[in-house]
Amino acid sequence: MTGFRFVEYLNDNPNTTYDVLATEAGITKARVCQMIALCKRLPSEITDYLMGTDDPETQKFFTEQKLRPLTLMATNDEKITRFNEMKETIQ
């Protein structure tokens, strides 16, 4: 979920660089890039859902490791379908 927070922060602070963000977060610039790239490759339906949920079980379930394969799918429809299938397993 941190990648989503990074994207929001950069949108709110357009003059901030990945270097500054990495320093503030205590991680490498490369890691910041990886996390932001993951978020940008997911359709807004998925990112909006993940950003809007307060359910700790859902937040814990959707790790970077589980979300990354979605970014390799050809279409957003495929990504959303698979994401919805994943959601059903936690309910």
Q: pLDDT, tens digit, for every residue of 15-62?
A: 999 999 999 999 999 999 999 999 999 999 999 999 899 999 998 999
Q: What pTM was estimated for this model as a whole?
A: 0.81
Contact 45, 80 (CB under 8 A): yes
- Is the model's pLDDT at 1 over the cut of 60? no
pLDDT classification of 4: cutoffs 50, 70, 90: confident
Helix axes 18-25, 2-12, angle to 10 degrees: 130
